[in-house]
Amino acid sequence: MNADFNNRREIAEEKEADEWLIRVRRYLRVLSIRKKQQFNRRVSIGDLLSERAENAAAYGFGEGTTMYDNVLVLGRVEVGCHTWIGPGCILDGSGGGLRIGDHCSISAGVQIYTHHTVQRSLSMGVEPIGYAPTRIGDGVYLGPNVVVQMGITIGDRTVVGANSFVNRDIGDGLKAFGTPARIRGPVD
């Protein structure tokens, strides 16, 4: 008799869970339609349920800064005002801190690091992890999938082209691209 009661309870719980899941899916569909109508885009569940400005504010980033829900933030990361941080970015402030200025565009898939484990790996754990702060100036555009190595400074009003690997500093008002990134001249 007890087993029969438990079986009926489990069936009722499964039915309730199924009904709840159906309601959640309907709600997500409504949110998705609204997002498509408002911005003509499809986003992940996290971005349907959160607001990009609130995501940035939760980390203490500057006024007007927005970031997608799936941005990975590690360690001490400071971001100025009115900066856009696209989907799928990695902001690593674990090694001395990462500072991103005002009015920047950090495109989809950008990875900015303040540490690396190269020497630790090659030495079979004898050498320490390498750390150095990384700084991104004001008015910087980092194209999609840019990778910025630890310890780099990118100056104000600088453009770094898509798919570039930045392993040396870039001064103010310059454009750079490539792997490794090379300075190609002043920003037009």
Residues 22 and 81 placed together within one structural domain of the fold = no
Is the domain of 31 the same as that of 105?
Answer: no
What's the token pair of residue 10? 């489990």
- Residues in the chain, pLDDT under 70: 1, 5
Shared domain for 94 and 150, answered yes or no, is yes
Is 103 catalytic? The answer is no
Catalytic residue among 82, 103, 115, 116: 116
Residues in the chain: 188
90 and 107 in contact (C-beta within 8 Å)?
A: no
Instruction: Looking at the structure, tell me whether residues 146 and 58 fall in a common domain.
Output: yes
Q: What is the pLDDT of residue 11?
A: 78
Q: Look at the chain and report how many structural domains it folds into.
A: 2
- This prediction's pTM: 0.85
Reported as a single tens digit per residue, the pLDDT across 83-103 is 999 999 999 999 889 999 999
* Residue-level pLDDT at 43: 80
Same domain, 9 and 61: no
CB 166 within 8 Å of CB 146: yes
Tokens found for residue 131: 């750390």
- Domain coverage including residue 7: 2-42
Tokens for 150, please give them: 């630890």
**What confidence score (pLDDT) does residue 5 get?**
67
Which pLDDT score, from 0 to 100, does residue 91 have? 98
Q: Compute φ and ψ for 2, nearest 5 degrees.
A: -65, -40
